[in-house]
Structure 1
Amino acid sequence: MKKVKKLYSLIAIAMIAVTLSGCVRVNSDGTPKEGFVYNYLALPAEHILDFIAKFVGGYGWALIVLTVIVRLILLPIMVNQMTKSTKMQEKMNLIRPQMKEIQKRQQNAKTQEERMQIQQDMMALYRDNDVNMMGGIGCLPLLIQTPVFIALYNAIRFSPEVSHTVFMGIRLGDKNLILVILSVIAYLIQGFLMTLGVPEEQKKQMKFMILLNPIVILIATLQSPAGLGIYFFIGGIFICIQTLIINMYRPKIRREILEQAKKNPPKKVVKEVHESDKNNESPEIEKSEENKNKNRQRNSGKQNRND
């Protein structure tokens, strides 16, 4: 689990680093050099914002409209991943008693061999019951949005019209602490909504992932112009709505998982482990019984001699 968390963290931070690095070289006068990122991402994004701005009355509203469009495109993927994550949470609830048993054994393990065996038992428990520790966690939405981040970042950076636009008192080309705070709050709320209806023990396991998104958003918005901050903030509101939708369907998902569990009950991996442990212990018990019998025979022999 720790490896999964570290992997996800590294991927997320790497994506942010690549996104906010700009990826566009500039000339001595500050103008962008011709290149793949500028020609095929920044310029098209600038043209799209110009086009939308004509219909909505400004670049601030154009950024909001573009954010909604991107989020609508991502909606099926996000809902699918969140649904998978919810199903995994419900499946984990079914095997939680066995997980506790294995965790107790892990705490009492004294040798490296015992720890390795316990880890194998835990993996077998997940595998046999079709539980994936990654759940619905995936980097596909982040991967899809990365070109959007880069495009908007550089479009705002190199477009005088966009960067000098003032929207609701905020200059789109400047960094803005208010949007940073609002974006982080939006993703914190989304993390809180994810915990609704989840057992306390599972909430503790989810803490890392709940805090990761706001931290990543904090890093991103601190380094971004206000225009990109608008994208993160509106995106955060959108993902809160998605989470509410999933929460509405959570009871239905729970019923489906319970019905499946009635037809195909969770496999008792822990029970098998205990039985094997008993079998491993039985030769020792037999040996001890044999030793006791031998001692009794010796004692009885001595008594017969004395008589």
Structure 2
Amino acid sequence: MNRKKLSRLFPLFMVLVIFLSGCVRRTASGKPYGWVYDNLAVPTQHLLLWLSQQLGNNLGWAIILITFIVRLILMPIMVNQSRKSTIQQEKMASIQPYMTEIQKRSKEAKTQDEQMEANQEMMALYKDNNISMTGGIGCLPLLVQMPIFAALYAAIQYSPELSSSYFMGINLGNKSFALTALTFVIYAAQGYMSMIGLSPEQKKQMQSMLLISPIMTAGITYVSPAGLGLYFFVGGIFACLQTLVIIFMRPRIKKKVAADLEEHPIKTPVRKTKPVTNDGEVENKQATMHNNNRQRNAGKQRHHNNE
């Protein structure tokens, strides 16, 4: 399941990297142009310069203020998404024994039909119990922020005023290893916080995904101007606050899921193929038909020999 999640996140990462480049082109004289630059970067440059004038000619504080406004607007959406994801996690924990049994049969399958049947049972287990195969992961906050990423990237990258500005001794137009490290730490801390209150089985499942988000975000921060890294770092602080909200909500979510399970018990898929009994008698209809065919063929062979 972790590999499936990774396969879904990787294309989003690649799209984000491409989009961050802004699709900005340059003329022969080096002047930037293009739809992204004209419609996103230039207005963002004017906004940042105006905000910096209101904040003591400090572009770093202007970027932080923009980050604060964007994340404040997105906070209800992201908290709601995290709440839904937490509900899915609790439901996943409730069906874990059934998942383990199906996964075991899937690994031990000797034929393609047995493998397919186990996969169908797994899908039915998810569907019948209203559990998302993606674990409640959504892309809306990322999609909403992508134009902001591109606007800030192009604005800082292609503005002489912004690229030569400093904040806390950091050149906002150049790469910053310090901001890259801080971004990695803040998102790693957020990932660690997200595991608080989970069962050991859930923690084990999430361990392989724990560093993916920090590594991806730190990677984008490293190849981007420090101004964008500052946006990511402050966004990581908001992500930690959002996780704290979910930590306080988790006990109530657990009670709600438990109450729902009492009212609507877990639905287990019906196996199409029945197991072999201890006496060695095959109860499967397909196996019975196969035995009948063998008996008929044996009768025909005896009749042929008698002739």
C-alpha distance after superposition, 1:70-124 (max 9, x if no partner)? 1111111111111111000000111111111112212322111111110111111
Percentage of matched positions with identical amino acids = 47
Q: State the match for 1:304 in structure 2.
A: none
Q: Secondary structure at the match of 2:271?
A: helix
Taking a change above 3 Å as real, the CA distance of residues 274 and 171 of structure 1, as seen in their structure-2 partners, is same
1:274 Cα deviation after fit: 8.4
Q: State the match for 1:261 in structure 2.
A: 261
Query: Pick from 258, 271, 274: which aligns with 1:273?
Result: 271
Distance of 1:77 and 1:210 partners within structure 2 = 22
Distance of 1:216 and 1:149 partners within structure 2 = 14
Q: State the match for 1:243 in structure 2.
A: 243
Q: Secondary structure at the match of 1:231?
A: helix
C-alpha distance after superposition, 1:27-47 (max 9, x if no partner)? 2343212x2111110011111
Contact 1:175–1:225 under 8 Å retained in 2: yes
Q: State the match for 1:79 in structure 2.
A: 79
Q: State the match for 2:37 in structure 1.
A: 38
Q: Number of matched residues? A: 285
Q: State the match for 2:305 in structure 1.
A: none
Taking a change above 3 Å as real, the CA distance of residues 32 and 171 of structure 1, as seen in their structure-2 partners, is same
Structure 2 counterpart of 1:81, one-letter code:
Q
Q: Does 1:179 align with 2:202?
A: no
- Root mean square deviation of aligned Cα: 2.3
Q: Secondary structure at the match of 1:281?
A: coil
Q: State the match for 1:297 in structure 2.
A: none
1:137 Cα deviation after fit: 0.9
Distance of 2:12 and 2:183 partners within structure 1 = 20
Contact 2:81–2:137 under 8 Å retained in 1: yes
Structure 2 counterpart of 1:66, one-letter code:
I
Distance of 1:6 and 1:60 partners within structure 2 = 35
C-alpha distance after superposition, 1:177-233 (max 9, x if no partner)? 000000011111111111111122222322343322112112211111111110011
Structure 1 counterpart of 2:271, one-letter code:
V
1:170-209 alignment, distance < 5 Å? 170-209=170-209
1:12 Cα deviation after fit: 2.1
Distance of 2:268 and 2:120 partners within structure 1 = 14
1:99-138 alignment, distance < 5 Å? 99-138=99-138
More displaced, 8-17 or 173-182?
A: 8-17
Structure 2 counterpart of 1:13, one-letter code:
M
C-alpha distance after superposition, 1:125-148 (max 9, x if no partner)? 001111112122111111111111
Q: State the match for 2:16 in structure 1.
A: 15
Distance of 1:4 and 1:160 partners within structure 2 = 40
Taking a change above 3 Å as real, the CA distance of residues 45 and 208 of structure 1, as seen in their structure-2 partners, is farther
Structure 2 counterpart of 1:115, one-letter code:
Q
Contact 1:64–1:230 under 8 Å retained in 2: yes
Q: State the match for 2:299 in structure 1.
A: none
Distance of 1:255 and 1:24 partners within structure 2 = 51
Distance of 1:95 and 1:274 partners within structure 2 = 20
Distance of 2:200 and 2:15 partners within structure 1 = 31
Q: State the match for 1:302 in structure 2.
A: none
Distance of 2:208 and 2:84 partners within structure 1 = 19
Q: State the match for 2:232 in structure 1.
A: 232
Q: State the match for 1:50 in structure 2.
A: 49
Q: State the match for 1:296 in structure 2.
A: none
Distance of 2:181 and 2:77 partners within structure 1 = 27
Q: Secondary structure at the match of 2:211?
A: helix
Q: TM-score, normalised by structure 2?
A: 0.86
More displaced, 6-15 or 40-49?
A: 6-15
More displaced, 252-261 or 194-203?
A: 194-203
Where structure 1 has 5 or more consecutive residues not aligned to the other structure, the ranges are 292-307
Distance of 1:72 and 1:209 partners within structure 2 = 26
Contact 1:184–1:218 under 8 Å retained in 2: yes
Q: State the match for 1:149 in structure 2.
A: 149
Distance of 2:103 and 2:142 partners within structure 1 = 33
1:275 Cα deviation after fit: 8.2
Q: State the match for 2:301 in structure 1.
A: none
Q: Comparing both chains, which one has the higher relative contact order based on Cα–Cα distances under 8 Å and sequence gaps of 6 or more?
A: 1
